[in-house]
Amino acid sequence: MERIEHFVPGVIDESEGILSRLRWPIPAGVATAYATAYTDPDERVLVPDCQGSALVREILSAARQVVALNFDPLIVLLVRTELAPPPARDLDGAVARLGDSPKQGRPLRRYLADLYATSCPACSRPAVAEYFVWDREQGEPIAKHLRCSGCGFRGRAASEQEDLGRLESLPPREMHYHYVLDRVSPPASGGSLQTRLEYLLELYSPRNLSVLAELTRKIEGLFPEGPLHDALKVLLADCLDRCSSLAPMPGSVAQRRGLRRPGRYLERNVWHAFEEAVRRVKASAGEQSSRLADILEAGTETAKGSGSYIGQGLVRDLPRALAPRSMRLILTSPPSLDSAAWSLSYLWCAWLLGAQAAAPLRPLLRQRTPDPAW
């Protein structure tokens, strides 16, 4: 059997995928090199910290089986959705149904557009802002970016009094705030943990928190379970990432600097971000494979035995979950030591899947400094 005695660099994916700033995937090409060198066809490769579907596809393309695990159920949901997404036509139909659903006597998309309503600085016609730029010290938006369908203007302009006045109708801690806080709070939580969660929710403007809460309610009400429900939750996860005040400014390098709002930060139009996420998911889906769908269906119970499996699991449980000598190769890329990302991982997982599902991530919420021992 061939041995690898040199560094295999692989190819790093620079694209902005779903939750890309939380994931630390193994570069493309590395899995193929090691799988073909150290395993035979149909043997199993273990990926205990799987952070993306590309690695799973690569191992399967090398005619090997894969056991891919992650302790974060949201990442598992993302990987499974990337591997076997719903048909593009079904996804488009679900988004259309979501946008057409009623909210205060209007279609939801119209209601959400009105929340980001503004006026064009060139022709004064009504327009919808793509995002606002906030100043942390002033505590209000100082600029807006929009595209005017009337005169064709697209660009940034100073915020106006009407933009500031519209915010007064959105108190920061209305029903939507408590709805989300109840979702993310573990049973009997209190003290420092509750304070931490309240701080994390403050990373969202009252307007964006309201919209994200409304989309959560609508998705769960219209699509109780199934592939479309999962895909829409993945799209919403992307919005939770890109619509917080920590999202990088357009044209800047995507860097996470803890959990403190920068001096200037974005308030994105959440519905626009949701539609962008739809295009991103459809573009990354590629060709659907019935084999991948069969693997996901067959691998819902256990990682024991033979065959491939993609699911949730803790590294410490592997000795009990896997049969002795059932793996010929282990490929791993542990999560980065980023306590801010860990806190956001818990928040987003609990928000979308519930506090009970996010229980494996709860210790990370208390972790304030990087801990290599963990």
Q: Which residue has the tokens 């090997």?
A: 64
pLDDT of residue 372: 57
**Residues 67-116: tens digit of each pLDDT:** 999 999 999 999 999 888 899 999 999 999 999 999 999 999 999 999 99
Query: Are the beta carbons of 238 and 273 closer than 8 angstroms?
Result: yes
Cut 0.85: pTM above it: yes
Count of Cβ atoms closer than 10 Å to residue 290 Cβ: 8
Sheet holding 65-70, edge to edge: 309-312, 65-70, 44-47, 329-330
Pull the structure tokens for residue 57: 């596809």
pLDDT confidence of residue 277:
92
The residue ranges of the chain whose pLDDT is under 50 are 287-288, 290
User: Over the stretch 120-147, which tens digit does the pLDDT of each residue have?
Assistant: 999 999 999 999 999 999 999 999 999 9
Q: Which residue from 190, 142, 189, 145 is spatially nearest to 167, judged by alpha carbons?
A: 142
Q: What's the pLDDT score for residue 363?
A: 82
Whats the size of the chain, residue-wise?
A: 374
* Phi, psi (degrees; rounded to nearest 5) at 260: -100, 135
pLDDT of residue 288: 46
User: What are all long-range contacts of 63-68, with beta carbons under 8 Å and residues at least 24 apart?
Assistant: 64/35, 64/39, 65/306, 65/307, 65/308, 66/308, 66/309, 66/310, 67/303, 67/308, 67/309, 67/322, 67/327, 68/308, 68/309, 68/310, 68/311
